[in-house]
Structure 1
Amino acid sequence: MQWEKVWEAYNINPIQIDKITDRVYKITTNTTIYGLKISKLTIDHIGHWHAVYNYICTHQIYGFVPLILTKDKEPYYILNQTVLFVHPWVESNRTEHIIDESASFFHAIGKLHGSTTQYVDNNENTFNYQSFDRKQKKEELLEYIKFFEAKRFMSPFELQACMHYRDIEWIIEQFEKWNDVYKGLSQETSQRKIVLCHNNLNPSHYVMLDDHLYFFNWEYARIATPIHDICFYLKHAFRYHDCDMKKIVEGLTIYQQYIQLDDREKCELQLQLLNIDSYIYLLENYVHQSMRLEIQMSKGLEQAFRQLLFANQLQTYMFPRLQVNQEED
């Protein structure tokens, strides 16, 4: 990396450079500490990102860690076809377990979505989910289970899949239930909500400062449905065996103080969370790999299974709150 060009572009004089990850560096000067991010953005996509950046600045959207401008007043620097961002350094002592901060997270994402809400004409392409034939999906799952059970000795991964079978079969039924409701709602209104989404909400991309939560690493931010960010967060939270559903429900209640989810959006959330395609992919990948990392693959399968189980728990909160159910009562 030709650091001298970067320091010149930002007019900073480092006295120490610490590599935090392959893409993040901590830059210490005599007066300030900066973070330097080597982005995965390509030059072809920088135009879209810049439009989002201008939107954030123009509307003075609160909650993002600001970027340091270059001497040319640009929010990024390109070095050898690589896009770089510099921002004030922010410390975070958080582990990857995010539930303890769920209230702060839902306040922050609620404010972000609530302050950027727009209404656009209803378009079936605005929300994409992979619907499936229930019978076909059950048969596909059962074929893998039969293949595993036919072995004299099953591996831990194969035993896991067999033990999961009845629960996954039930989840397919629940997906179909939500799908039936969604089909009846999808064309009822002519408009739908879109918001500014961070689009990459893993726990390393936000930080608590002075009791406020701030987002960074937002180069993939885009305008999308509010469910996009919520689903990303929940899928990560549901990976942990001790996920506290009570805190998740409290968080969703907090979120809806800023932006109400309608029946269609609740269905979209559950359809994404209950979709078993990722789980089936792990089974398929295991069967077709000759060289297997058994422990890693077993861990991945267990996490995918947890995501589905917690999604199943969440629907006991979401389904009774559908307006269509209240109207029927």
Structure 2
Amino acid sequence: MRWSQLLQSYQLQPESIEQITDRLYKIEADHQQYALKHARLLPEDVGRWQAIQQYIQGKKIFGFVPVYSTVHQRSFVEDNGEIYYLMPWVNREISEQPADEYATAIHTIGKLHAATMDYHKIEAVKQNRSTLESQFEQELSYCREQMLQYVRLFEAKRFMSPAELQICMYYRDVEQLFNKMEEWQEIYLDRMEETDQMKYTLCHGNVKPSHYMTTGMNTYLLNWEYALMTSPTYDLVSYYQYLFRFHDCDMDKISESFSVYCRYIDLSDYEKSLLVLQLLSPHNWFRSMSEIMQPRRGTSNVRKSVEIEVEFRKLFHGFQMQEYIYQTLKTDPIDDLG
């Protein structure tokens, strides 16, 4: 990397350059500290990213770390097809009283969504109800059939790999999840008929502990490269599924965080059912199973087993989460489920 040419675009003469991660550098120049990010943006993504930056600055959203402009008034520097951008360096505060990570993140997400919330009509979606019903039915039929085929294939072997054994052990749990998906699909379709519009907000797109930082009373969201305008459930699913990866995630605190979020954004039953269907989606579960059949070169049995375990945890904790969300529905869904 040609540091001198890159930083000259910001009229900086670096005193020191420290690599923090494979894509983050701490720059000291002119007695100040800067964060230089090697973005994952592709050239075709830059326009969207710049539009999001301008939108955030125009809205004066609190907790946003600004991006510096170059001498040519650009928000990034391109070097051999790679994108770099510069921000102030924000030091993470170390406190004797550790912050509640769940509360910190959910308050920050809630404030972001509340500050950027708008609505759009869903008439076009409602007109396609029959298509949605057919898609739901086909999806569940495929999932059940595919899961059964995998289990029969693995059980026919004399010796199963650890990952194959895990899949067979989890078959009953996953089948129960499919049944619950079917119930929520019915709730989704019924609530859709009662809904004229749904919320959309600016979503960060990749909320996890490494992408937000608490300093004093303030929390800053970092790395906006995946930001987009969409349903607020997008950020909730992204954040919760990150937490669900871990066996010791605190489901009581996560459930409580959902109540906190709903003080900022009053999700309709239709939006809650959309959130649940996203949390219960078995897409990544099946992707992990297919990779067992066609493993990537160099992938060990241990690695396969870990991937299957992580995907199962996400489904398992998602199943627990839907039970809590079910209790928060504004109208009794029992009649909907017959």
Percent identical pairs in the alignment equals 37
Partner SS for 1:34: strand
Q: Aligned ranges for residues 68-83 of structure 1 at < 5 Å?
A: 68-83=68-83
Partner SS for 1:71: coil
Partner SS for 2:253: helix
Partner in structure 1 of residue 316 of structure 2 = 309
Cα RMSD, aligned residues only: 2.4
**Aligned CA distance change for structure 1 residues 286 and 93 (closer, same or farther; 3 Å):** farther
Question: For residue 107 of structure 1, what is the amino acid of its counterpart?
Answer: H
Taking the aligned partners of 2:99 and 2:312, their CA distance within structure 1 comes to: 18
Partner SS for 1:72: coil
Moved more, 245-254 or 291-300: 291-300
Taking the aligned partners of 2:238 and 2:247, their CA distance within structure 1 comes to: 17
Output one character per residue of 1:173-216: Cα deviation in whole Å (capped at 9) or x when no partner: 01111011111122432221110011111321111111322111
Do structure 1's residue 6 and structure 2's residue 14 form an aligned pair?
Answer: no
Taking the aligned partners of 2:2 and 2:16, their CA distance within structure 1 comes to: 15
**Aligned CA distance change for structure 1 residues 290 and 66 (closer, same or farther; 3 Å):** closer
State the 1:328 CA deviation: 5.6
**Aligned CA distance change for structure 1 residues 187 and 99 (closer, same or farther; 3 Å):** farther
Output one character per residue of 1:211-261: Cα deviation in whole Å (capped at 9) or x when no partner: 322111102211111000000000000011011111111111111111111
Taking the aligned partners of 2:141 and 2:238, their CA distance within structure 1 comes to: 28
Of the three residues 316, 332, 337, the one matched with 1:325 is: 332
Output one character per residue of 1:300-327: Cα deviation in whole Å (capped at 9) or x when no partner: 1101101111111111111122123179
State the 1:99 CA deviation: 10
Question: For residue 284 of structure 1, what is the amino acid of its counterpart?
Answer: S
Q: What TM-score results when the alignment is normalised by the length of structure 2?
A: 0.89
Q: Aligned ranges for residues 61-72 of structure 1 at < 5 Å?
A: 61-72=61-72
Q: What TM-score results when the alignment is normalised by the length of structure 1?
A: 0.92
Taking the aligned partners of 2:91 and 2:301, their CA distance within structure 1 comes to: 35
Moved more, 65-74 or 151-160: 65-74
Instruction: Give structure 2 stretches of 5+ with no counterpart.
Output: 127-131
Partner SS for 2:264: coil
Instruction: Give structure 1 stretches of 5+ with no counterpart.
Output: none
Partner SS for 1:318: helix
Taking the aligned partners of 2:14 and 2:100, their CA distance within structure 1 comes to: 36
Taking the aligned partners of 2:151 and 2:117, their CA distance within structure 1 comes to: 45
Partner SS for 1:140: helix
Output one character per residue of 1:118-168: Cα deviation in whole Å (capped at 9) or x when no partner: 01122539xx9x734434321210111111111112111111111111101
Output one character per residue of 1:34-91: Cα deviation in whole Å (capped at 9) or x when no partner: 1111112123222222211111111111111121222233322223332211111224
Taking the aligned partners of 2:77 and 2:271, their CA distance within structure 1 comes to: 38
Moved more, 285-294 or 313-322: 285-294
Contact conserved, 1:9 with 1:77, CA < 8 A, in 2? yes
Moved more, 288-297 or 10-19: 288-297
Partner in structure 1 of residue 129 of structure 2 = none
Taking the aligned partners of 2:197 and 2:328, their CA distance within structure 1 comes to: 21
Contact conserved, 2:70 with 2:76, CA < 8 A, in 1? yes
Partner SS for 1:303: helix
Taking the aligned partners of 1:12 and 1:133, their CA distance within structure 2 comes to: 55
Of the three residues 137, 142, 146, the one matched with 1:136 is: 142
Partner in structure 2 of residue 200 of structure 1 = 206
Q: State the number of aligned residues.
A: 324
Partner in structure 1 of residue 256 of structure 2 = 250
**Aligned CA distance change for structure 1 residues 104 and 60 (closer, same or farther; 3 Å):** same
Partner in structure 1 of residue 120 of structure 2 = 120
Taking the aligned partners of 1:160 and 1:54, their CA distance within structure 2 comes to: 47
**Aligned CA distance change for structure 1 residues 141 and 93 (closer, same or farther; 3 Å):** farther
Taking the aligned partners of 1:323 and 1:296, their CA distance within structure 2 comes to: 43
Taking the aligned partners of 2:271 and 2:197, their CA distance within structure 1 comes to: 12
Question: For residue 17 of structure 2, what is the amino acid of its counterpart?
Answer: I
**Aligned CA distance change for structure 1 residues 327 and 239 (closer, same or farther; 3 Å):** closer
Partner SS for 2:9: helix
Taking the aligned partners of 1:301 and 1:91, their CA distance within structure 2 comes to: 36
